[in-house]
Each structure stands twice: as C-alpha cells, then as structure tokens.
Amino acid sequence: MTLYRATDAADTMNLAALLIAEYCHRTGMVLNTLASYLQVRQEHSRAAGPREAEPNEVAGMLGAPLPPADDETAQTWSSWGSGYAGASRAVR
C-alpha cells in the first residue's frame, strides 16, 4: 500500500509541475529554460522498473554493503553515502 500511495503522490506532483510549466510557458518562458527547470533529462518511467542505482540506494539506507557490480562509479558511492547518512540521521 505504501508503494501505491508513493506512486500516486508522484503522479500528483508531476501534474502540479506540468500545470506550473504551462503557466510559465503562457507567460513567456523560453522552452529551453522551461525544459531545464522541468529536468526532462532526468525523467525515468516507473514502468521500466528499478534501475541499477536503486539497490545501491537501499544498501546505503540500510547500512548494508553495496551489492556486487561490474562498474562502481563515483556516482554509486555518492548515492550510497548520501543514503547511509540520511538513514543515520533518521535513526538518531
């Protein structure tokens, strides 16, 4: 049920962002600027399922070791570190 509610909230926030974007477009915002504010390059469909980064995020939140991977990039370590730090703060 939590996952259902989280995706419902994400859809609602997406709708709100698109309504604000339409307002900005109608009031004269340049499309390239609008696209950058909408962060369209970061868009990821939930239908594609979890990406490779999600297991690393979960490991970081749980304070568990990173799952084995072929390519451990700085982004992976950064994600793990931020997840671990957030989980540590939440536990306190």
- What pTM did the predictor assign? 0.54
Note the pLDDT of residue 45: 80
Q: Tokens 């084995």 correspond to what residue? A: 68
Residue 44 gets which letter from DSSP? -
d(CA 36, CA 41): 8
Query: 42 is written with which tokens?
Result: 């970061």
Question: Left if phi > 0, otherwise alpha if psi is -120 to 50, otherwise beta: which for 10?
Answer: alpha
Are residues 54 and 31 part of one domain?
no
Are residues 42 and 67 part of one domain?
no
Q: What is the pLDDT of residues 6-47, one digit of tens each?
A: 999 999 999 999 999 999 999 999 999 998 999 888 777 878
Residue pair 78/57 in contact by the 8 Å Cβ criterion = no
Are residues 59 and 16 part of one domain?
no
Are residues 35 and 55 part of one domain?
no
The larger pLDDT score, comparing residue 91 to residue 48, is at 48
Are residues 37 and 77 part of one domain?
no
Q: Domain residues for 1?
A: 1-49
Are residues 1 and 43 part of one domain?
yes
Which amino acid is residue 24, in one-letter code?
A: C
